[in-house]
Amino acid sequence: MKAYKIPEATVMRLSIYSRYLKQLLDENVDTISSSEIAKGVGVSSAQVRKDLAYFGEFGTRGVGYKVGELYGHLMKILGLDRKWNIAIIGAGKLGSALALYEGFKERGFTVQGIYDVNAGIIGKELSGCTVEPLAKLANQIKEKQITLGVITVPASSAQDVTDILVKSGVEAILNFSPRVLKVPYGVVLRNVDLSVNIEVLSFNLAAKIQ
Amino acid sequence: MKAYKIPEATVMRLSIYSRYLKQLLDENVDTISSSEIAKGVGVSSAQVRKDLAYFGEFGTRGVGYKVGELYGHLMKILGLDRKWNIAIIGAGKLGSALALYEGFKERGFTVQGIYDVNAGIIGKELSGCTVEPLAKLANQIKEKQITLGVITVPASSAQDVTDILVKSGVEAILNFSPRVLKVPYGVVLRNVDLSVNIEVLSFNLAAKIQ
DNA sequence: GCTTTTTTGATAATTCATTCACATAATTGT
DNA sequence: ACAATTATGTGAATGAATTATCAAAAAAGC
């Protein structure tokens, strides 16, 4: 039962399910029920089934899901059955951390380039990539077929970097800067705000203490 | 009009509003309307007003909001009118990046300790903090009155670290490891999953291409 | 082969979040 | 003083997401 609009929360959970299934696969688990998945990742079993139902019927009634099979379906749905070339713009602490992050590599995201304006950083080696000057970004996006840009520059230059990425044909942007970015229709944008996360905790703490 | 349960999405937006207001404050803007805030952060003006309405009436009809005043209210609501002592557990790339992250410091989060088990990292300096062995964590949480723990260790040791944090009296945990953590009722837990974010992009890219 | 058990997939009910629409209040201009 | 304008605060309407429920299908037990 394919539906047009998939809730973002569903997609996020699919990513989590898939990682959990990978773990089960490594443990040679053959079959699993929606309620076991649910327990493993901390949601309800109805939620698991509902999420999967957006994309088809993957289980067998009375039995459950074949781990390997479901894992394959999820990887395909998430677009992780292929390699993605990514560029990281901003080789500060966060950019470097992401460049070295194993989690990306494991799931098929290859860091093809890291860029910065800071002369002190340019030329450094980071996981088989040399930090290049920002001026080279536009050309290398095309040369290296980079489809995904990760922005870890300060807020003040985030929009400029975005414009370069978009103009050079990048199709998706993961933005770690605390700035609302404008992208044309068709470019996928996702914002990750580290400050917001800790401030939600602070809010909850403050509310608890009152 | 104070309400009991505040949507998490509202709290996240309040954090974003507050940062935008700080910027306006630095630019000496005196007054602002909900629709200007909305435009600045990329939401609807009704959303801004509704979010604020959970906590009281901060504006003047026909006029808008005093920037400084609203900023003050938001900082208080978010619990950012005080200092929070935090500990970072896991001094790998991500932990180090977070330790050096200015965004935390600016908003009143002081890194009081960084911990790791890796002998090669222990003793290193990171923004005025020496990386300490994990064994010291429990005692230092009490000594340094740390209320907030940031977990950047691998998934395999995340629950162990959580248990130490909880037992030592930490009240909130920001978890960057891809593991579902168990905490007792009363401890605030928030998960940040970097992989999930890039995989949502991958999903959208894959869906677009089809 | 029939009954019982299990677990999916789908629909309905419920809860939660966002948007709409407008009365109300403040200000400005005449 | 009064009309016109602006922009808040809020209840109602809408929309979205989650949870509950249960018929249908597969398997296991007898």
Instruction: Give the pair of three-digit tokens for residue A7.
Output: 């809730």
What pLDDT does residue A146 have?
97
Whether A3 shows a pLDDT value over 80: the answer reads no
Q: Give the integer Cα–Cα distance in Å for B76 and B61.
A: 23
- Give the pLDDT confidence of B117-146 residue by residue, as tens digits: 999 999 999 878 999 999 999 999 999 999
pLDDT band at A125 (very low <50, low <70, confident <90, very high): very high
Cβ of B198 within 8 Å of Cβ of A79? The answer is: no
From A79, A173, A208, residue closest to B202, measured CB to CB: A79
> Per CA to C1' distance, which residue is closest to D16?
A7
Q: Give the integer Cα–Cα distance in Å for A147 and A172.
A: 6
What pLDDT does residue B6 have?
94
What pLDDT does residue B61 have?
95
Contacts 24+ apart (CB under 8 A), A3-8: A3/A54, A6/A54, A6/B207, A8/B200
For an interface test with A, give the residue of B37, B203, B210 to mutate (most A CBs within 10 A).
Answer: B203
Chain B residues within an 8 Å CB radius of A196: 12, 15-16
Whether B163 shows a pLDDT value over 60: the answer reads yes
Mean pLDDT of A97-121: 93
What pLDDT does residue A103 have?
85
What pLDDT does residue A208 have?
81
B198 touches chain A (CB under 8 A): yes
Whether A52 shows a pLDDT value over 60: the answer reads yes
Q: Are A94 and A151 in contact (CB under 8 A)?
A: no
> Per CA to C1' distance, which residue is closest to C5?
A62
Cβ of B196 within 8 Å of Cβ of A12? The answer is: yes
Whether A81 shows a pLDDT value over 50: the answer reads yes
Residue B26 CB partners (closer than 8 Å, separation 6+)? none
- Give the pLDDT confidence of B59-72 residue by residue, as tens digits: 999 999 999 999 99
Instruction: Give the pair of three-digit tokens for residue B91.
Output: 């001094």
Q: Give the integer Cα–Cα distance in Å for B129 and B113.
A: 6
For an interface test with B, give the residue of A147, A156, A199, A209 to mutate (most B CBs within 10 A).
Answer: A199
Average pLDDT across chain B, whole number? 94
pLDDT band at B210 (very low <50, low <70, confident <90, very high): low
- Give the pLDDT confidence of B18-49 residue by residue, as tens digits: 999 999 999 999 999 999 999 999 999 999 99
What pLDDT does residue A210 have?
61
Cβ of B200 within 8 Å of Cβ of A11? The answer is: yes
Q: Are A196 and A203 in contact (CB under 8 A)?
A: no
Count the neighbouring beta carbons within 10 Å of the beta carbon of residue B201: 26
What pLDDT does residue B127 have?
77
Tell me the CA–C1' distance in angstroms for A4 and C19: 22
Whether A1 shows a pLDDT value over 70: the answer reads no
Residue B38 CB partners (closer than 8 Å, separation 6+)? B44, B45, B47, B48
pLDDT band at B99 (very low <50, low <70, confident <90, very high): very high
Statement: the pTM of the whole predicted model exceeds 0.75? yes
Q: Give the integer Cα–Cα distance in Å for A79 and A55.
A: 13
Instruction: Tell me which amino acid residue A41 is.
Output: V
Mean pLDDT of B158-169: 97
Structure-token match 């602002």, residue found: B32
Nearest-nucleotide field for A46 (CA, C1')? D19
Whether A65 shows a pLDDT value over 60: the answer reads yes
Whether B1 shows a pLDDT value over 50: the answer reads no
What pLDDT does residue B2 have?
44
Which burial class, exposed, middle or buried, applies to A23 when counting CB atoms under 10 A from its CB (0-12, 13-18, 19+)? Answer: middle
| Furthest C-alpha separation in chain A | 62
Whether A131 shows a pLDDT value over 50: the answer reads yes
Mean pLDDT of A172-187: 94
Q: Give the integer Cα–Cα distance in Å for B173 and B147.
A: 9
Backbone angles phi, psi at A159, to 5 degrees: -70, -35
Chain A stretch 64-83, residues whose beta carbon is closer than 8 A to a beta carbon of chain B: 77-80, 82
Percent above pLDDT 90 for chain B: 89
Nearest one of A117, A121, A196, A193 to A161, comparing CA atoms: A117
pLDDT band at B102 (very low <50, low <70, confident <90, very high): confident
Nearest-nucleotide field for B45 (CA, C1')? C19
Nearest-nucleotide field for A10 (CA, C1')? D17
Cβ of B16 within 8 Å of Cβ of A196? The answer is: yes
If you measure CA to CA, which chain A residue comes closest to B94? A97
Mean pLDDT of B43-60: 96
Chain A stretch 160-189, residues whose beta carbon is closer than 8 A to a beta carbon of chain B: 171-174, 178, 180, 186, 188
